[in-house]
Amino acid sequence: MSYSTSFLEIPSDSNVQFIDVRAPVEFSQGHIPGALNIPLFENEERTEIGTVYKHVGKDQAFQLGKKIALPKVESILSRITGLLPASIIIYCWRGGKRSTEICKLVNEAGIPAKRIIGGYKGYRREIREIIEQPRKLLMLGGKTGSGKTALLHGLKAKGLQVIDLEGLANHKGSVFGHINEQPQPTTEQFENNFFDELNKTNPEKILVLENESYVIGSVHLPPPLLLQMRAAPLLIVDLPIKARIKRLVKDYTSTNRQELIDASQRIAEKLTKPKLQKVIQFIEKDDFESACEILLGYYDHYYNRGLGNRKNQDISYLLLKGVDIDTDVEKLAVAIRKNTNSSF
C-alpha cells in the first residue's frame, strides 16, 4: 500500500479528513479548507526547535523535537482515531519529518492514513496552476447597492456556476464592506478557499463572478485570475437609485451608528468635508436614506470613472427594477443565456 499521494489525485467527492500537523501559527496563515489542525509542535516549541537547528545543529534539533513530540503521541492518535471512518490525509509544510512520522505512527496503529507529497507547499503549487488556467468567465457588474450578491446567489439556485468572491473574502468591497462580516481570511487562505469552490465547477461551462477590483478589503485577488476577469465579458445591472438606497438602508440600519460614521470618515478627503458633515448628521438622526444618497453620489462617480478605463472589455447593460429579487434573477438568467449561448 502506498502511503503518499498528490493532492490533486485525491477524489474531490471522497470522505476525506485532512490533518494539518503544523504549528497553529502556520495553520492560521493558510491551510487546506476543511483541514483539522493537530499540531505536533506548538508555536513556541517550533521556534525553540528552529533556534537549536540554526545555532546548534540538525541532529540536536531532531532530538529536541523527538523529546517534545513523544509525550503527545497517545493524544494525537486518540484524536485521529475519533475521526474514523473518514479517510485520513496528513500533511505538514513540505511533506517532511512531521507528516512522515505522524503518518507512520497512525499506520502502525492500524489506521490506513496517507500523507501529501510535497506537503502544504506542494498543495499550494498545484492549486496555483489550476487557478491560472483559462476559464469561461462572465463578470457581473453594477453600482453600489445593486444587490449583486443576492443576484449571484439567485443565479446559483437556478443552476448557474457562480463563485461569490466577496463571500469568500468576508467583505463587501467598499469602506463599509467589513461591517456585519466575519474577520477576513489571509490572502493565502482566500486563494485556498477560492480553489476549493473552483474545483467544484465544470471548466467547459460559464462561470459567473462579480466584477471586483484587485483588493477586496485586505484580500488580494490572484493576479492571473484578475487578468482573466478584466478580459472577460462584463454584464452590468442597472437599477433605479431609489431601489439601491432602499436595499442599502435595509442592510445597514441595524449597524452601530458609530461604525457607519467611522467608515464614512475614511473617504472624507474625496467625499469633501461639507458632504461628510451632512452624512454624519443624517446618520445621527437615523435618516439613512439621505446619508445613502450622498454616499452613492461619491461611489457612482468613481464607479463611472473606473468603467471608463475599460476600453477593451466587452460591456453590456441590463435594466432591472430592483423591486422583486426573483423577477430580477430570472431576467438576468435569461440575459446570460442569450449573451453566452449557454443552457447552463
Q: Give CA–CA dist 211/84, Å, rounded.
A: 42
**Pick from 319, 260, 328, 324: nearest CA to 292:** 260
Q: How many CB atoms lie within 10 A of CB 128?
A: 13
Residues constituting the chain? 344
Quote the CA–CA distance of 329 and 334 in Å, as a whole number. 9
Phi/psi region, residue 73 (left: phi>0; alpha: psi -120 to 50; beta: rest), is alpha
Q: Residue 174 — φ and ψ, nearest 5°?
A: -105, -175
What are 185's strand-pairing partners?
none
Residue 292 catalytic?
A: no
The residue written with cell numbers 458633515 in the block is: 277
For the chain, first and last CA: distance in Å? 41
Report the Cα 241 to chain-centroid distance in Å: 29
Catalytic residue among 38, 88, 92, 245: 92
> What amino acid positions are annotated as catalytic residues?
92
